[in-house]
Amino acid sequence: MNIGTIVDAAAAGDPGRAALIIDGHIVRYGELAAAVEQCSGRLADSGLAGKRVAVVDVGSVPAIATMLGAARIGAAAALMNPALTPPELRGLVKNAGCASVGVAGESYVGRLVDAGLSEVFTAANLLTDGKTNTPPVAENIDDASITSQVKYALLSHKSTSALKTKVKTVDGVVRVTGDANSEAEKALVSKLAMDVRGTKSVTNDMLVKS
């Protein structure tokens, strides 16, 4: 076992157990393990195995998943203060020997780009099931990007569960299935999915627990 697989046993034994609490939102072991696996696959597909990856974000699921996912492929996440300026980040990236591909929260992408990185991954790029290296900014929003952003929205909101919800997008139409604790949660899932840029409509086939 290394740091990259530290959550696996808990996720297998009790996926619904709380692993993290971020801004009052409980992230469960099953959700965290899935995020770590997706991040490690994305980093590996981008040729980052064995390299150092700059990470600029506040405490977040993508940042933590990147740290653990990087360890799975023999890479190392270099966590950097999001309050630093682009020149300061540029110096850190150079001194740490980081790759030209980094990870950042949505609010900090520009800082890493200005620091000289050629590509910056966000949650929308990392938390996907596919292996296509989606650019962080694009004019056309493809189905995989929509799906990943819906999943991240569900993961981030304290009143929804990404673990209990499956998401599939075809031609901009998002279909969600799974279990909802209430009609209010089901309606919230629909709203979060509809709010994602590129979504044309939402079909919500979630079952409300009685």
Instruction: Give pLDDT tens digits for 139-188.
Output: 456 788 788 778 877 877 778 877 778 999 999 999 999 999 899 999 99
pLDDT at 135: 41
- For residues 1 and 130, the model is more confident at 1
pLDDT at 14: 87
Please report, for residues 153, 186, 189, the alpha-carbon distance to residue 160 in angstroms, rounded to integers and kept in the order given. 9, 9, 7
pLDDT at 128: 56
Walk me through the domains of the chain, giving residue ranges and CATH numbers: 3-126 (3.40.50.980), 143-208 (3.30.1340.30)
Average pLDDT over residues 59-88: 92
Instruction: Give pLDDT tens digits for 43-71.
Output: 998 999 999 999 999 888 888 999 999 99
Q: How many whole angstroms separate alpha carbon 149 and alpha carbon 202?
A: 14
Q: How many whole angstroms separate alpha carbon 81 and alpha carbon 196?
A: 28
**Taking the model in full, what pTM does it have?**
0.64
Instruction: Give pLDDT tens digits for 15-44.
Output: 888 888 877 777 888 888 888 888 888 899
- For residues 5 and 133, the model is more confident at 5
Q: Which residues pair with 26 in a beta bridge?
A: 21
Averaged pLDDT score across all residues of the chain: 85
CA-closest candidate to residue 136, choices 169, 157, 156, 108: 108
Instruction: Give pLDDT tens digits for 192-210.
Output: 899 887 899 999 999 998 7
Strand bridging mode 52-56 / 207-208: unpaired
Cα within 13 Å of Cα(19), Cβ side? 27
Instruction: Give pLDDT tens digits for 110-133.
Output: 999 999 999 999 877 776 544 333
